[in-house]
Structures are given as C-alpha cells and as structure tokens.
Amino acid sequence: MRCGGSTELDALLADLGPRIRRGERVREPLPRCATGLAEIDRLLGGGFPRGRLSEVTGAPSSGRTSLVLALLATLTSSGECAGVVDWADAFDPPSARSAGVDLRRVLWVRSRQWRDALGCVERLLATEGFPLVVFDLASAANEAGARLDSEGERSSTNWLRLARQAAATRSALVVVSSERLTGAHAELALEMRPTGARFTGTPVLLEELETEAVLVRHRSAPEGRVARVHLAARSAA
C-alpha cells in the first residue's frame, strides 16, 4: 500500500495512538534442572537453568556436594545423562548411590590437569545428550585457588567460552568451587554457608548438617535471598 502523503500517515498514527508499539520477542522461560530440594528449587526459580553456566561455591562441609548429588539424582532418575568432570577427584560413588544417583547414567571424568579438564567440559557440552555437566573444582584442601593461580588459568575467556558452549547445546553447566571463579559469566551463583552439624544419641552419631544457600548472583531475580537446608547423615556414611 502506498501512502498518499506524510500528513495522512501522521493522522493515522495520531488516530491509533498508543495502540501502536514496536514488536518484542517473547522471552521463553529457561528449562531447568531441579535439585529435588524444594527450598533450593524455589530459590533458583525451579532449578539450575539449562543452557546457562551456574556456580555453587562454599567452604568444606557447606553442603555443595550434597546439593550437586541431589541434582544428579533428580536428573538421572528421569532417564537423562549427566557428565561430571572431576578435577578435584572427589566424587564418591557410594555416597552418590546413597543419594539416589543412577550411576549408570553418569559419565565420570577424572582429569588431572586443568587444561584437560577444561577440554573435557567443552567436549561434553558439545555432545548433545548431556543436559547437565558438573565441573567440580572444589578442592577440600583449599588448594583450588592456588592451583588455578599457579596454572594461570583464571582467565575469564575460558568461562565465556564454556558459557557460550552451554548456551549452544542447551546444557546446564554447574561449576562447583571454593570461591567465585566464573564472574559475570554465571547466570546464577549460589553460596553455601555451613551453620552447624548435629551429633546426637548414645553412642554419639552424626545426625545432620545444617547449611544456608545464599543466592549471591542471579541475572533475573533478586539476589541475597536465603534457603535453609538440612542434610541428613543417616545413609550417607
């Protein structure tokens, strides 16, 4: 259609007024990998987002590993596969089985070198069919940071590359570490803070670990919110 002149167009626009606006792309909510822990899932908006990089940090005994195993258990019980790149070499199969993880659906990669670990994560993200890849960098001996520094691999370009790779294949990449490493490349970051352990009974037994999960970074939700988690030790040992 050809307009007769700018005055007619102006008149039409004036007539339609606010009913005309620029079109916007509808943002679909990201699919999530639920942890099965209701408080945590509520805090995260349904779980760890697929196609994004997320980070779980915390000191030893803060519940990071229990959270990741809960995530693996929920995912593998639904028949999906997950990759665990274990730079810390800390994955404990009996503990995972007790947590309900279907070990046959977990590809465990025990890399020794940081560069190899990075390559393994990239390779797993590039292989479609792994909706979750866990990259465990948390060394219980508090040496992770030192090891990363010594290998000169704190560069943010690594995380940018991994985040893009995760987005390309719509896999959830969860980095587990002692301190924040991924910076602004993480969609969300959860900091686990231990609040105490409970020993009860006669003879004395470790009953549970209490911990807090603090949302320290989230691109589309308020930060600073907290979820309290109780981790029962009854069948973990």
Out of 127, 153, 167, 180, point to the residue binding another protein (CB under 8 A): 127
- Which residues ranging from 201 to 230 are in contact with another protein (CB under 8 A)? 203-206, 208-209, 227-230
**Can residue 135 be called a binding residue for another protein (CB under 8 A)?**
no
CB atoms within 10 A of CB 177: 23
- Which residues ranging from 31 to 50 are in contact with another protein (CB under 8 A)? 34-41
DSSP-H helix ranges across the chain: 6-16, 38-44, 64-77, 93-98, 114-126, 144-150, 156-169
**Can residue 132 be called a binding residue for another protein (CB under 8 A)?**
no
Between CA 118 and CA 130 the distance in angstroms is 16
- Which residues ranging from 47 to 106 are in contact with another protein (CB under 8 A)? 59-67, 69-70, 73-74, 77-81, 88-100, 102-106
Return the CA Rg of the chain: 22
Residue with tokens 């893009």: 164
Cβ 180 to another protein shortest distance, Å? 18
- Would you give the DSSP letter of residue 140? T
Out of 33, 44, 53, 124, point to the residue binding another protein (CB under 8 A): 124
**Can residue 147 be called a binding residue for another protein (CB under 8 A)?**
no
Cβ 1 to another protein shortest distance, Å? 48
**Can residue 134 be called a binding residue for another protein (CB under 8 A)?**
no
Residues 222, 37, 192, 118: is their CA dihedral positive or negative? negative
